[in-house]
Amino acid sequence: MPLGAMRRQLVSKATHSARSAVVARRRWQSTVQVKKVTDDDIAQLAAKPLHPLTLTDLVQHGHPPLSASALFHSANFTLSILPSRLAHRIQSLRSLPFIVVANPHVSKIHNNYVHSLGTLLPYSEKRIESLEDEIEFTKVMADLVQIHSNTISILARGFLEARKYISPQEVTRFLDEHLRARIGTRLIAEQHIALHFSSKPHNDLSDSDIHDQDHSSYIGVIDTALKPADIIRSCEGMVGEICELRYGVRPTVVLNGEPETTFAHVPMHLEYIITELLKNAFRATIERGMEREPIEVTIAPAPEELNKTITNFDQGSVDAASESDRPAVSASGNIRLLERSTPGVTIRIRDRGGGISPENYAKLWDYGFTTFNEDQIDDSVSGGGNTDALSAISGVGGGSSLAGLGYGLPLGRAYAEYFGGGIAVQSLWGWGADVYLSLRGVGKIN
């Protein structure tokens, strides 16, 4: 199945009616109320500890269709943690050198966060206890998701344009924190939107049929029976088609291990990570002339005894601007342990693409690292045409918007680490590379 078709299918399952959701979001954008945000508002909210997030938090309400009380609980949980997250991001942006913040792209992101906080402030001093309030709040969530849809690509261009005024180390520190925090903010908002559209009150109002949800493995945007093999095959098809267009050939993928493995996770996160990893493997294999050598992908369920803590860094819960490394957890600085019974999966991608040179290996996880020269970087910033199709496919929320900007691999690692997973790369220079993707699931669901 083509990746685009699979993506539509996944969203449809998660929201019960993706097309209705899109139409509703467009209609809602003009009705969202915005309150003026003061510096005192930002300071007070940024002083609050950041709430750590686990997949268990997102599925705590059980399988859809949600009752009205469960839907209100979801809305209030969302409202309890988003305002302080937005305030921390605003303060973090303001801590950058003034000439960097003055860049039109970076300034746009700052203003977007201020706008989103302004839409949440009217709700911050009350609880959502009626369907009318919940509907209006979901409008705010839809506005938040829409306005921040291109945050990563806009920031990427802003930092490239301002790279003379900020060191690579400062950029890496800021992006590691900011983009990881953004993953959680967006996921929280999208989860409530999905739960809204799959709730019993919404279906009662829309006279739609909810029986299909009784057999769905989705809870909001989370698939509790996610099959990595399906994502891998779909991503393989899309990357292979791009390779044929660009190079005239495509490597094959041999899938082994335990391809029937399932676990609970966010399909869109896994889709992005796998696309990026396969893109790198396909490109290296073809450019070394080894396209007849298959790329081997092994799926292995993680042993139950494998346990891990999630650090504040993993989730962007360390705000250097406000000196906030005080999440609402123990003094150890780590988020609570994942359940020992939480199933997970490890995926190994092995290629014969010649490996990674020692020079490039040292820069593998740097944001903005690219093999392009200065002219090509400038073309990427200005929208020029020197970006090849294989780089273009690693864009997030904007097609080719990240093409050539060197954000693919570190961003993929951020998605993996957010819930306690990770990406490790073993390179045999002159031969090939093994990439190990580990992901943790959500654990037991009532």
Q: Which position has the token pair 């993996």?
A: 416
pLDDT at 288 over 60: yes
Higher pLDDT, 137 or 306: 137
pLDDT at 386 over 80: no
Per residue in 56-115, pLDDT (tens digit) is 788 887 788 889 999 999 999 999 999 999 999 999 999 999 999 999 999 999 999 999
DSSP conformation class of 117:
H
pLDDT at 311 over 70: no
C-alpha angle 75-115-172 in degrees, rounded to nearest 5: 95
The C-alpha atoms of residue 126 and residue 76 are separated, in whole angstroms, by 9
Residue 345 near residue 319, CB atoms below 8 Å: no
Phi and psi, residue 29, nearest 5°: -55, -35
The C-alpha atoms of residue 237 and residue 143 are separated, in whole angstroms, by 33
Question: For residue 27, how many other CB atoms are within 10 A of its CB?
Answer: 11
Higher pLDDT, 432 or 375: 432
**Encoding tokens for residue 38?**
């003061």
Question: For residue 233, how many other CB atoms are within 10 A of its CB?
Answer: 18
Q: Left if phi > 0, otherwise alpha if psi is -120 to 50, otherwise beta: which for 384?
A: beta
* Arithmetic mean of pLDDT over the chain: 79
pLDDT at 118 over 70: yes
Higher pLDDT, 149 or 325: 149
Which of the four CATH numbers 2.40.30.10, 3.90.550.10, 3.30.2290.10, 3.30.565.10 does domain 222-304+341-440 have? 3.30.565.10
Alpha helices in 298-364 (DSSP H): 358-361
Q: Which of 202-206, 255-259, 327-331 has the lowest mean pLDDT?
A: 327-331
The C-alpha atoms of residue 185 and residue 59 are separated, in whole angstroms, by 16
Phi and psi, residue 95, nearest 5°: -80, -10
Per residue in 8-17, pLDDT (tens digit) is 443 344 333 3
Residue 293 near residue 249, CB atoms below 8 Å: no
The whole-number pLDDT of residue 443 equals 60
CATH of region 3-218: 1.20.140.20
Domain positions in the chain: 3-218, 222-304+341-440
The whole-number pLDDT of residue 385 equals 42
The whole-number pLDDT of residue 98 equals 95
**Encoding tokens for residue 115?**
């706008």
Question: For residue 302, how many other CB atoms are within 10 A of its CB?
Answer: 20
